[in-house]
Amino acid sequence: MNPPIVKFTIDGKEYLAAAGTYIIDVARESGIFIPTLCNIPGVKPRGACRMCTVSVNGRFMAACTTPASDGMEVRTSSPELEDLRRAILEVMFVEGNHLCPVCEKSGNCDLQALAYRYQIMVPRFPFQFPHRTIDAANPRLVKDHNRCILCKRCIRTVKDAKGRSFFAFRRRGHKIEISIDHEMADLMTDEIAGQAADICPTGALLRKEGGYRIPIAERKYEKVAIGAPDGTDTR
Amino acid sequence: MSQKITIEPVTRVEGHGKVTIHLDDQGNVVRSRLHIVEFRGFERFVQGRPYWEAPVLVQRLCGICPVSHHLAAAKALDVIVGAGTGTGLSPTAEKVRRLMHYAQIFQSHALHFFHLASPDLLFGVDADPKIRNIVGVARLNKGLAVQGVMMRKFGQELIRITAGKKIHGTGAIPGGVNKNVSAAERDEFLKGEAPMNPDAMVLWAEEAVDFFKDYHRKNREFIDGFSEFPSNHLSLVRKDGAMDLYHGVLRAVDSEGKVILHDIDYQEYFNVIHEEVRSWSYMKFPYIAELGEQAGWYRVGPLARLNTCSFIPTPLAQKEFERFREVSGGKPNNRCLHTHYARLIELLHAAEVIRVLLNDPDLQGEELVRRGEKRHEGIGVIEAPRGTLFHHYRINDDDQIAMANLIVSTTHNNEPMNRAVNVVAKRMLTGRTEVTEPMLNAVEVAIRAYDPCLSCATHAMGQMPLEITLVRPDGTVVSRARSGGTA
């Protein structure tokens, strides 16, 4: 049996969707830009980054984990929401060690692209300069923990044919970090390493020896601004 | 004589120098020192980074000549990825890199001569500092100032089409380049309206050489007698002895022209060049190992390059090179201010090389990267605008940088700059107890001839943050002066 259809509004415009459809998916299909970092279309959402926070009937909710429901009034933008998103980005920048000028992901990085979009010049929070490590022991992949925003995209999507994830969290609290499963590490192919590097929204996962192959001006967000999948900037 | 001056490190800054001059009881200058008080730390903080980041990371050392660091690091990594030294790349990769490098030489030399050195030449060392700057040059000789700006622009735009952007690009990657030069990009220059084409730049470079020669004729005593002292000279040369600023072997000559380093493969540089550390400067003092610390110091840069090479492989620059050699009777030229002459001959050479390269169809080739058997260690050497630049990396089994050693041009010239300061100080100061502005500037001129990185950005505004201290034998400070007036 098909799920019931729900009727709701986004930014004052009426939309219909199957019950259970997440707000972010409706917005994406309708060409409405809501910024995301941890969300991946078609993959179960985790609400890890909170970049997609929207106003739902006056309350702030994550658009990626909130299903649309009848009568819902969603607002995707307001001065308060924009400032909140900017603050989230700023927290990410000060919490890690993000050095865009020398990062090989520069120009292809979702975090950097959003920072440009939100015109972040100087964060309002003090830099933490955490001591983080680089793990390059895997022959195909480098993990640079300085740049990891703990979005779990790699854990949720990079899996073998049996559905076993190559990545997992280890440690707790502020020391938590991504690790490559020891037993799975030997199964990592070039293709899987490439998939992991591509799915990472920052430069935390890097294919070995592949850096800087794309020349400046040819990189992803130099061609199309973030939030403009069809080449139309929705800002 | 013992006295101690404490200098706090000034970190991550461009251009901070400090000179101390020591006097005996009769007021005679007995010792002068140029202190470089910058601390950068790049050799340490690249450790642990993936090796392929090095060309992009270390170029942040400098905003004036990042291409030199970018390419020196890339050349070292070529060795690590098994692409060989200098000649192992595809023709496209090597020529794109050469174009990038000669464009860098061209813009940097133009910057130095027109923006930094010309105020001293046009107005004189003892002119009022209020007019002795690039704005003063523009007022007095608008054409010359415009030429300087346009020549820099030409070089910077060439860097953009080869490296991706004008400053801090990503063009050179281990084993090659990440882009070629498209026909459309090439035609921006080949078909560009004057002055933005190579023919016009060659012409302007010739005019710049003529400008200096004319100035030399009129001011022979100043140019020739300002600061001269015998020294060794070191640079890369092509295997046949030709000037080659991108790749070659290490050659050094002594002050009489005798070859003291015979065309050494730079992968073995550590056998022939050692570095001394002195407690009063953050900059090391390299020397030719066989000659020892006292006698083994040498100069690098334009003057040294014209003293070491056998010929220049472009016709117009070769003619000037022959005249340059005549000035010193065929022997190495040890006159400090002749560095400007040498630099302008190189400017002309770079313009000629750029013209040849832009007409080379290899720039549009498709083979960008070559790799071979991987190694754990690599050394890259290049002739940067200011002199020979060494990059040496060792990596671990996980592809992380385990060791980096960089010997930059200004470091090689550390001892020569100290000597130059000493020569000028002795002549200008002996028997005097007050530091005057012209004396201060004379010391600056001696340092500036080497175009050291410490003079980069700030002097362009007419202010080099230089401080001079006169110290008596008992350690008491007689006089102290900063750029812009006596303190």
- Where exactly are the structural domains of chain B? 10-41+413-486, 89-228+337-369
Q: Looking at the complex, does the CB of residue B293 fall below 8 Å from at least one CB of chain A?
A: no
Asked if A216's CB is within 8 angstroms of B53's CB, the reply is no
Asked if A214's CB is within 8 angstroms of B81's CB, the reply is no
pLDDT score recorded for residue B397:
97
> How many CB atoms lie under 10 A from the CB of residue B323?
12
pLDDT score recorded for residue B16:
65
Q: Looking at the complex, does the CB of residue A137 fall below 8 Å from at least one CB of chain B?
A: yes
Query: Distance between CA B210 and CA B218 in Å, rounded?
Result: 12
How far does A136 lie from chain B, in Å, by closest CA? 5
Question: What CATH class does B89-228+337-369 carry?
Answer: mainly alpha
Going by pLDDT thresholds of 50, 70 and 90, the confidence category of residue B409 is confident
Q: Looking at the complex, does the CB of residue B171 fall below 8 Å from at least one CB of chain A?
A: yes
Residue B65 has pLDDT above 70, yes or no: yes
Beta bridge partners of A179: A168
Going by pLDDT thresholds of 50, 70 and 90, the confidence category of residue B459 is very low
- pLDDT tens figures, B363-375: 999 999 999 999 9
Query: Distance between CA B236 and CA B390 in Å, rounded?
Result: 11
* Residues in chain B within 8 Å Cβ distance of A136: 50, 398-400
With residues binned 3-state (H G I as helix, E B as strand, rest as coil), the percentages for chain A, rounded to 5, are 25, 20, 55
Asked if A104's CB is within 8 angstroms of B56's CB, the reply is yes
Going by pLDDT thresholds of 50, 70 and 90, the confidence category of residue B8 is very low
- In chain B, positions 41-80, which contact chain A (CB-CB < 8 Å)? 48-50, 52-53, 55-57, 60
> How many CB atoms lie under 10 A from the CB of residue B405?
14
DSSP code at position B123? H
Residue B116 near residue B448, CB atoms below 8 Å:
yes
Sign of the CA dihedral with A106 first, then A109, A113, and A115 last: negative
Locate the chain B residue with the closest alpha carbon to A211. B52
Amino acid at the residue B289: A
- pLDDT tens figures, B17-60: 777 777 777 778 788 777 765 566 788 889 999 999 999 999 98
Residue B395 near residue B45, CB atoms below 8 Å:
no
Which residues are CB-neighbours of B301 under 8 A, at least 6 positions away?
B339, B342, B343, B386, B387, B409, B413, B450, B451
- The token duo for B422 is 């000493």
pLDDT score recorded for residue B15:
57
Q: Taking residues B264-271, what's their average pLDDT?
A: 94
Q: Kind and range of the H or E element at B153?
A: helix B142-163
Whole-Å CA distances, B459 to A224, B38, B112, B301, B483: 40, 16, 10, 19, 10
Q: Looking at the complex, does the CB of residue B400 fall below 8 Å from at least one CB of chain A?
A: yes
pLDDT score recorded for residue B453:
64
Per-10-residue mean pLDDT of chain A, 235 residues long, equals: 91 96 95 95 93 97 97 97 97 96 96 95 95 95 97 96 95 93 90 96 94 95 80 43
Q: Kind and range of the H or E element at A83?
A: helix A79-95
Selected residue of A140, A205, A209, A214 to mutate for chain B interface (largest B Cβ count, 10 A): A209
Going by pLDDT thresholds of 50, 70 and 90, the confidence category of residue B127 is confident
* Residues in chain A within 8 Å Cβ distance of B53: 102, 104, 211
Query: Distance between CA B384 and CA B156 in Å, rounded?
Result: 15
- In chain B, positions 77-106, which contact chain A (CB-CB < 8 Å)? 81
Q: Looking at the complex, does the CB of residue A134 fall below 8 Å from at least one CB of chain B?
A: yes
Asked if B56's CB is within 8 angstroms of A134's CB, the reply is no
Q: Looking at the complex, does the CB of residue B173 fall below 8 Å from at least one CB of chain A?
A: yes
Which residues are CB-neighbours of B213 under 8 A, at least 6 positions away?
B323, B341
Domains parsed from chain A with CATH numbers:
5-77 (3.10.20.740), 84-209 (3.30.70.20)
Asked if B170's CB is within 8 angstroms of A216's CB, the reply is yes
Asked if B53's CB is within 8 angstroms of A215's CB, the reply is no
Question: What dihedral do alpha carbons B116, B119, B124, B129 form, nearest 10°?
Answer: -90
Q: Looking at the complex, does the CB of residue A215 fall below 8 Å from at least one CB of chain B?
A: yes
pLDDT score recorded for residue B6:
27
How far does B23 lie from chain A, in Å, by closest CA? 47
Q: Kind and range of the H or E element at B347?
A: helix B338-358
Q: Looking at the complex, does the CB of residue A205 fall below 8 Å from at least one CB of chain B?
A: no
* Residues in chain B within 8 Å Cβ distance of A216: 163-165, 169-170
Locate the chain B residue with the closest alpha carbon to A100. B57
What phi, psi does B272 have (nearest 5°)? -110, -20
Q: Looking at the complex, does the CB of residue A142 fall below 8 Å from at least one CB of chain B?
A: yes
Residue B335 has pLDDT above 70, yes or no: yes
When comparing pLDDT for B67 and B30, which is higher?
B67
Residue A103 near residue A147, CB atoms below 8 Å:
yes
The percent of residues above 90 in pLDDT, for chain B, comes to: 56
Asked if B49's CB is within 8 angstroms of A213's CB, the reply is no
Question: What dihedral do alpha carbons B290, B292, B293, B299 form, nearest 10°?
Answer: -40
Please measure the distance between the N-terminal and C-terminal CA atoms of chain B and give it in whole angstroms. 25
Q: Where are the beta strands (DSSP E) in A80-188?
A: 134-135, 141-144, 167-170, 177-180
- pLDDT tens figures, B312-334: 999 999 999 999 999 999 899 99
Which residue in A102, A136, A137 is closest to B56 by CB distance? Answer: A102
Whole-Å CA distances, A59 to A36, A53, A84: 18, 10, 13
* Residues in chain A within 8 Å Cβ distance of B171: 215
Q: Taking residues B176-183, what's their average pLDDT?
A: 97
Number of Cα atoms under 13 Å in the Cβ half of residue A15: 27
Asked if A136's CB is within 8 angstroms of B398's CB, the reply is yes
Residue B320 near residue B313, CB atoms below 8 Å:
no
* Residues in chain A within 8 Å Cβ distance of B56: 102, 104, 212
Selected residue of A97, A99, A100, A102 to mutate for chain B interface (largest B Cβ count, 10 A): A102
Locate the chain B residue with the closest alpha carbon to A217. B164
pLDDT score recorded for residue A230:
52
What phi, psi does B32 have (nearest 5°)? -130, 145
* Residues in chain B within 8 Å Cβ distance of A137: 398
Residue B10 has pLDDT above 60, yes or no: no
pLDDT score recorded for residue B116:
80
How far does A87 lie from chain B, in Å, by closest CA? 28
pLDDT score recorded for residue B212:
92
Query: Distance between CA B302 and CA B339 in Å, rounded?
Result: 6
Asked if A134's CB is within 8 angstroms of B178's CB, the reply is no
* Residues in chain B within 8 Å Cβ distance of A104: 52-53, 56
Residue B244 near residue B350, CB atoms below 8 Å:
no
Query: Distance between CA B114 and CA B459 in Å, rounded?
Result: 12
How far does A144 lie from chain B, in Å, by closest CA? 9
pLDDT score recorded for residue A208:
94
When comparing pLDDT for B470 and B96, which is higher?
B96
Asked if A215's CB is within 8 angstroms of B171's CB, the reply is yes
How far does B24 lie from chain A, in Å, by closest CA? 50
- pLDDT tens figures, B68-116: 999 999 999 999 999 988 678 999 999 999 999 999 999 999 988 888 8
pLDDT score recorded for residue B125:
72
Q: Looking at the complex, does the CB of residue B265 fall below 8 Å from at least one CB of chain A?
A: no
Q: Looking at the complex, does the CB of residue B169 fall below 8 Å from at least one CB of chain A?
A: yes
pLDDT score recorded for residue B308:
97
Asked if A212's CB is within 8 angstroms of B173's CB, the reply is yes
Asked if A102's CB is within 8 angstroms of B57's CB, the reply is yes
The closest of B440, B421, B432, B443 to B27, measured between CA atoms, is B432
* Residues in chain B within 8 Å Cβ distance of A147: none
Which residue in B50, B81, B163 is closest to A136 by CB distance? Answer: B50
- Spell out a b/e string for B430-468, using b for 16 or more CB atoms within 10 Å of the CB, else e: eeeeebbbebbbbbbbbbbbbbbbbbbebbbebebbbbb
- In chain A, positions 82-101, which contact chain B (CB-CB < 8 Å)? 101
Residue B401 near residue B446, CB atoms below 8 Å:
no
ipTM of the complex: 0.92
pLDDT score recorded for residue B117:
81
